[in-house]
Structure 1
Amino acid sequence: MNLKNYKPLINLALLVAVAYILHKIIFYSFNIDDTAFHYSIEVLYLLFSVLSVIVLAVLLKVKEQSFDNIGMSFLLSTSIKMVVCYLILRPVLQASGQNSSIEKRNFFAMFILFLAMETILTIRILNKNQ
């Protein structure tokens, strides 16, 4: 097993761990109660982590087969991920109340955070072969 091939997945795990710790610190600092959320922060991090690992695993597999198709594979896998996230977000969008607005912002921020991590790691994969 060549660990060098899985470096983006290891980097993703480290970034997720740091983001989770910072997220919990921010919620603790601002006294945000996440117990009333439809999805807990841990569930969302698990969900987004699994989806990101799938996206990066697909990209690493495409890299082995055809390096030229990494960009299109990233766009397709990210689009599929966005549809899955929307389906998961639907109950939160239908909820009303003050806590639901915080939860909506939280979900959107986490989506953007994980999208940024995936994009940066994909750029690193693309730059390795130049």
Structure 2
Amino acid sequence: MTFKTFLHLFIISIIAFVINFFLVENVIPKHELVKWTYSIANLYSMFFVFSVVIMSLLLFVRTKNLDYVGYTYLIATSVKMGIAYFLLRPILATTTDENSTEKINFFIVFICFLAIETLLTIRILNNKQ
């Protein structure tokens, strides 16, 4: 279950990254991408690390007591949300029309990884072995 969970996380993250990368590279002008605070690769790397930490924590808690996996997920996701807010602050500080696409992209990546973590957590909770 452990290896399978991380494999699913990695594969889904790579697919999401490739789709997002090609959409952003083909839709957004290069002069706007240069001004972004975080590149797409940096965003995906940061959120992938957060997801690996959260999944590791959930799998560890699952070995101790399955009843606390849901609570651990809620707490870990809340901490991740707080960290994401501090990462988002430099983007929020600059208010330009060109910056709006960077904000939207940040939230898309955040929601994408939140959905991946939620689905994997549901699989952990449904597997009662």
Instruction: Give the structure-2-normalised TM-score.
Output: 0.93
Q: Deviations over 1:76-127 (max 9, x none)?
A: 0000000000011101000121221111111011111100000000001111
Question: Unaligned 5+ residue runs, structure 1?
Answer: none
Residue type of the alignment partner of 1:117: I
Among 8, 11, 17, the alignment partner of 1:20 is: 17
**Does the CA-based 8 Å contact 1:59-1:70 persist in structure 2?**
yes
Equivalent residues, number = 127
Over 4 Å off, 4+ runs: none
Question: Unaligned 5+ residue runs, structure 2?
Answer: none
Residue type of the alignment partner of 2:41: E
2:16 is paired with a residue whose SS is helix
The Cα shift of 1:28 comes to: 2.8
The equivalent of 2:26 in structure 1 is: 29
Identity over aligned pairs, percent? 38
* Cα RMSD (Å): 1.2
The equivalent of 1:60 in structure 2 is: 59
Q: Deviations over 1:40-69 (max 9, x none)?
A: 111100000000111100000000011110
The equivalent of 2:43 in structure 1 is: 44
Q: Deviations over 1:10-38 (max 9, x none)?
A: 10000010001101121133244322101
The equivalent of 1:105 in structure 2 is: 104
Structure 2 CA distance for aligned equivalents of residues 100 and 28 of structure 1:
15
The equivalent of 1:122 in structure 2 is: 121
**Does the CA-based 8 Å contact 1:37-1:99 persist in structure 2?**
no
The Cα shift of 1:5 comes to: 2.2
